[in-house]
Amino acid sequence: MTLTGTGYAKINLALHVRRRRDDGYHELETLFAFARDGDAIAIDPDAPPGLTIDGPFGDALAGEAGDDNLVMRAAKALGRPAAIRLTKTLPIAAGIGGGSADAAAVLRLLGEGRDAAELLAIAAGLGADVPACVASVAVRGDGRGDELRAIPAEGLSGMPLLLVNPRVPLSTGPVFRAWDGVDRGALGDGDPLAVALAGRNDLEAPALSLCPVIGEVLALLRAQDGVTLARMSGSGATCFALFESEAARDAAAAVIGEARPDWWRLASALR
C-alpha cells in the first residue's frame, strides 16, 4: 500500500533573531504558518529502500538523491527505511521549508501511531524547522525555532496567500552569518496576525545584502492592492503576501506574473 502526503510550504509570518549561540545556531522567536500546498511524498514501505525525485524542481536536487537526503534520514531515524518518491514543486534553498517540510511529511506518514513527543524529538534531530513542519499548523517557535508553543491560529486559516521566489537559491547558514548581531526586541504575544503585523523578519536585511533582488520582490508585493502583510520568509529568498481576498491575491499574481514571468509564484492559502 502506498502512503501519500504533502511537505507543506513553511512561512515565517515574523522571525526575530535575538542572539548568536555557541553551537552555531541563533536564538529565535518566530511565528510559523503553512501553505495548503507543497511537495508531494509517496512511500511504499514494502519496496526496497531508495529515493526517486521528480517534479519541476527535481533536477535541482538530483545530486542529493542518495541516502544523505533528509527524507531518507527521516525514514531511517524511525527505523523504517523505505522506497520514497519526492515530487519537488517548491523551489529549493528558498526559505519555505523545503527539505524540512519533506522530512516532516515522511515522519508523519511512517511515524503514525508513534508517541508525539518522540516524533518531535526525532524531528528536532533532523533540523531546527522540522518539528514545526511536523505540526504543519500555525505555531510559535522559540530557541532554535524547535521549542513549539500552540497559538490561537483559527483566524489565520484560509487567508489567501501568494509566494514569490526570484529563482535565486540562498543557503540558510550564510544568511544567519550575515546578521548584524543587533537584538531589535522580542516578538509580541496575543492575536497571531496582530503579532505578525507588529513584528519583523530580522533576516531580511542580511538576505538582501547577499541577494539584492529580494528588494524588488518585496517592493512589487507591497505595491499590490489588498495586501495585509508582505514579508520575506525564513532566510529567503521567497517572499510572501497575505491578502484580504482571493480576488486580490489572484490579481496580484497576474500582475507579478506579467512583470516578472521568470519568477516562481504559488497562489495558495494558509492551512
260 CB contacts (<8 Å, ≥6 apart)?
166, 216, 220
- Among candidates 92, 232, 87, 243, which has minimal Cα distance to 164? 232
- Counting residues that bind ligand C5P (by CB under 6 A) gives 13
* Residue 48: DSSP 8-state: P
Amino acid at 112: E
By CB under 6 A, tell whether 241 contacts ligand C5P. no
By CB under 6 A, tell whether 32 contacts ligand C5P. no
- Among candidates 101, 2, 99, 100, which has minimal Cα distance to 43? 2
Nearest approach in angstroms of CB 20 to ligand C5P is 8
Is 84 annotated to bind ligand? no
By CB under 6 A, tell whether 69 contacts ligand C5P. no
Looking at 37, 39, 102, 129, which residue binds ligand C5P (CB under 6 A)?
129
By CB under 6 A, tell whether 24 contacts ligand C5P. yes
Is 37 noted as a catalytic residue in this protein?
A: no
Radius of gyration of the chain (CA): 18
Q: Using the minimum distance from each CB to ligand C5P, give the nearer residue, 11 or 267.
A: 11
CB 148 within 8 Å of CB 121: no
Nearest approach in angstroms of CB 39 to ligand C5P is 16
Q: How far apart are CA 84 and CA 39, in angstroms?
A: 13
Is 46 noted as a catalytic residue in this protein?
A: no
Catalytic residues: 10, 129
Binding site for ligand C5P (CB under 6 A): 24-26, 28, 100, 127-129, 144-145, 172-173, 176
